Chains A and B, each alone.
Chain A
């Protein structure tokens, strides 16, 4: 049987969810038997080279690049999973959602108590993706098939969910594996 293809990305996240995935210990050997990784920071494949069964999304969308990547994932993956609280509800980055973008930038680059910015300029290089007006949970941008909450979701949560999906079983997580922290 051909191995399932899996892609992963971290949008507006901290890579903590990826760390948690690596935290499955020796089960990682079993995982390698089950899947091939396509686009993912784990193998540093930058763009999709083939269609994938599962896409794991860490982080919400805070800028245009996140939206582009997320839409690309939706296009190339049969099943998309929001992994972690940032993908699911915006997470800590979403704390800015109650504050207008301009105020956020002014606080970060001009007015904040620890700011040292003699130029008095807010970074505006063309390479910097434009920020969205607020941080969006992934399912507000594209359709998401499953949510694995947690900050990060535990290695067990990720393992159970992945194995269930890849072996055509329903994703039914036991009580101890649905946690928001």
Chain B
């Protein structure tokens, strides 16, 4: 056993208090320090935090950014979501492969650079994009990729790849990133500036119950997409028995096509932190956790600084704003590449240092969440709304938007439109108006709400963005007339298969089966009976899956079968003579022909 590894692991575990629940931080640090979490390292970690080795393995093997085998000093993760593909990520991929002389999933012979694919990294408005270790590179092209590799070979320092900084705080000393905000339309709620502490002071002048009442009066609903009333969630959390309570912020923005939280975190961290602090006051919690997706690691120091500044100003920490006994602080928990952790109970599992498996409900997090304590989990944008409600009053907030969906919504718009970026719009806005705003009047289809949402056809562009019609966590992906929607659907299914935790049967197996049948259809080997087959399978997954991921994973198939059925129908045909068109005798004999050097006598 290598002495230095032992010393490193011991030190890392000790810094985390040899606390098994801090497993995410431990394995992330070990990987950062030692290049991977090797078998030896897992044994050591298990010994230090008193758990079984296989428990460490279960965590490490769950998260895409963690590895048990050594990777290159620099890992290039090219985003392979559908928008990036539309914007030319294939050329970037080809350039990277040629320039590095390796395929995806491989490391250069000198152990310097590893090449991988990764699902949406929240940069669809500046695609194609990639992560180079924690740095983000955007607006890539084949040429840009080649010169990137060449300069990496020279200095091996991803930070030096950033030439010109993006706008706003992307140029901040602690960010120094080439990412752009692309804020195309600010609203009054989320993206407007906030006088520091104004909302918090108003809140602290009231009782916690009154704060909750205001949030309820504003009729604020969760901005992650599901739309649960925030005030009610807080009330449940506050009233649940227990002495310790937690406020969790879900900044694990992973729904493909969503990037608005990235912009909020970059430009309005104070509005968010203030909202979390108000939540802490309202539910009676002294601890908040900001769960930041690994893809946004480049924002970590900046956010740490924002927290630090607020502590210095008495807006966070002990006796906040001079209010005796109101203590609340926030720590940042980094994720490690798992879309499922955006599901609130998975997020809790991850913060507890476990695999990001969703938990059984009931009990709900409000009753028993983090470490079995009452916990509220809210979206980044929801906390921002809270700040504004406490600043300007619930009446002011509630009169915006539509009846069932008060306030504004920050949309992330990408794809075939002239002005991709972030738009804060009032709820109740027609999709057709959204398309006008972003310059996508010739859209042939729009995916609202990410892969788990709805594929909307032009006939339905009069529908509105709100909880009662087209609910969305923010993702709006536009597809022009030349796009093959079934290939988009395939991409979405591949995403769900990659990101399924594998806990329940319908999601783990069902999506693989959906993809198999869709591929058949795309290969021109489909039959009319495949359509009802897909529908039944999709319904079974939707009904029986255990969590939101599984329950929405068939949506790409089901909503396109409904709104774009002709796209399927044009590809399938009745099989003649009772044969199975899916059986390809040529392909089935390929291996044998190569091995024997003979041709078939029958086919």
**Interface of A toward B, CB cutoff 8 Å:** 64-65, 67-68, 71, 74-75, 80, 100-102, 105, 122, 124, 126, 129-134, 136, 139-143
User: Could you say which residues of chain B place their CB within 8 Å of the CB of A143?
Assistant: 575, 578-580
Chain A: CB-nearest residue to B575: A143
Sample (13) of A-B pairs whose CB atoms are under 8 Å apart: A64-B602, A67-B588, A68-B603, A75-B578, A102-B591, A124-B596, A124-B598, A129-B601, A130-B593, A133-B587, A134-B588, A140-B582, A142-B580
1/0 per position for B549-593, CB-CB distance to A under 8 A?
000000000000000000000000001011110110101111111
The answer to whether A64 and B600 touch across the interface, beta carbons within 8 angstroms, is: yes
Q: Check if B595 is an interface residue, CB within 8 A of chain A.
A: yes
A85 to B: closest C-beta gap in Å: 19
By a CB distance below 8 angstroms, the chain B residues around A122 are: 595
Report yes or no: A75 in contact with B577, Cβ–Cβ below 8 A. yes
Smallest CB-CB separation from B587: which chain A residue? A133
A105 and B577 within 8 A (CB): no
Bound CA–CA A126/B591 (angstroms): 16
Report if A130-B596 is in contact (Cβ < 8 Å); known contacts: A64-B589, A67-B585, A100-B591: yes
Tell me which of A67, A101, A140, A142 contacts B603 (CB under 8 A): A67
Contact check, A132 vs B589: say whether CB atoms are below 8 A apart: yes
Please name all residues of chain B whose beta carbon is closer than 8 Å to the beta carbon of A67 when the two chains form the complex: 585, 588, 602-603
Given A67-B585, A74-B578, A101 contacting B602 (CB threshold 8 A) = no
CB <8 Å contact, B579 and A131: no
Determine the chain B residues whose CB is within 8 A of the CB of A71 once the complex forms: 577, 579
Closest B-chain residue to A123, C-beta based?
Answer: B596
Known: A102-B595, A141-B583. A68 touches B602 (CB 8 A): yes
Query: What CA separation (Å) do A134 and B591 show in the bound complex?
Result: 10
Name which residue of chain A comes closest to B599, CB basis. A130
Write the nearest CB–CB distance from B513 to chain A, whole angstroms: 14
15 extra A-B contacts, CB within 8 A, seeds A64-B600, A68-B603, A142-B579 = A64-B601, A65-B602, A71-B577, A74-B578, A74-B579, A80-B578, A100-B591, A124-B596, A131-B592, A132-B588, A133-B589, A133-B592, A134-B588, A142-B580, A143-B580
Residues of A within 8 A of B577 (CB): 71, 74-75
Question: Contacts of B592 on A, CB cut-off 8 Å?
Answer: 101, 130-133
CA–CA, A31 and B583, complex, Å: 35
Given contacts A64-B589, A102-B591, contact A130 B582 (CB under 8 A): no
Residues in chain B near residue A134, CB distance under 8 A: 588
B602, closest chain A residue (CB): A68
Known: A100-B591, A124-B596, A133-B592. A139 touches B580 (CB 8 A): yes
Whether the Cβ atoms of B583 and A140 lie closer than 8 Å is yes
B580 touches A141 (CB 8 A): yes
Using A74-B577, A101-B591 as known contacts, say yes or no to A126 and B603 having CB atoms under 8 A apart: no
What residues of A have a CB within 8 angstroms of the CB of B575 in the complex? 143
Is B587 a contact of A101 with CB atoms below 8 Å? no
The interface residues of chain B lying within 8 Å CB-to-CB of A124 are 596-598
Contact B590 A64 (CB under 8 A): no
Nearest-CB distance from B370 to chain A (Å)? 42
Known A131-B592, A132-B588, A133-B590; contact A140-B580, beta-carbon cutoff 8 A: yes
- Please report the C-alpha to C-alpha distance between residue A105 and residue B594 in the assembled complex, in whole angstroms: 13
In the complex, what residue of chain A is closest to B582 when comparing beta carbons? Answer: A140
Residues of chain A within 8 A of B591, CB atoms compared: 100-102, 131, 133
Residues of A within 8 A of B588 (CB): 67, 132-134, 136
Give the distance in Å from the alpha carbon of A131 to the alpha carbon of B588 in the complex. Answer: 8
Docked pose: A75 CA to B583 CA in angstroms: 16
Chain A nearest CB, measured from B297 CB (Å): 39
Taking a contact as CB atoms under 8 Å apart, the answer to whether B590 and A126 are in contact is no
CA distance A141 to B603 in the complex (A): 14
In the complex, what residues of B have CB within 8 A of residue A74's CB? 577-579
Residue among A67, A100, A126, A140 facing the most chain B CB atoms (10 A cut-off): A67
Which residues on B sit within 8 Å (CB–CB) of A131? 591-592
For A67, give the chain B residue with the smallest CB separation: B585
Closest to B527 in A: A143
Shortest Cβ distance from residue A126 to the other chain B in the assembled complex, whole angstroms:
7
Distance to closest chain B CB from A48 (angstroms): 15
A102 to chain B, nearest CB (A): 6
* Set of chain A residues within 8 Å of B603, measured between Cβ atoms: 64, 67-68
- Are the C-beta atoms of B578 and A142 separated by less than 8 Å? yes
Which residues B186-232 have CB closer than 8 A to chain A? none
A105 to B595, CA, bound (A): 9
Which B residues are CB-close (under 8 A) to A129? 601
Cα of A148 to Cα of B583 in the assembled complex, Å: 22
Which residues of chain B come closer than 8 Å to A142, judged between CB atoms? 578-580, 583
Q: Do the beta carbons of A130 and B580 come within 8 Å of each other?
A: no
Q: Chain B CB within 10 Å — which of A71, A80, A130 has the most?
A: A130
With a CB–CB cut-off of 8 A, which chain A residues contact B596?
Answer: 124, 130
Residues on A with C-beta less than 8 A from B580 are 139-143
- A101-B592, A142-B578 known; A126 and B598 CB under 8 Å? yes
Q: Which residues of A contact B587 (CB under 8 A)?
A: 133
How far, in whole Å, are A134 and B579 apart by their CA atoms in the complex?
18
In the assembled complex, the CB of A94 is this many whole angstroms from the nearest CB of chain B, namely 14
> Chain B nearest CB: distance from A123 CB in Å?
9
Complex contacts, A132 vs chain B, CB 8 Å: 588-589, 592
Distance of A135 from chain B, by nearest CB (Å): 10
Complex: chain A residue closest to B603, CB-CB: A64
* CA A87 to CA B591, docked complex, whole Å: 22
**Are B578 and A130 in contact, with the CB atoms below 8 A?**
no
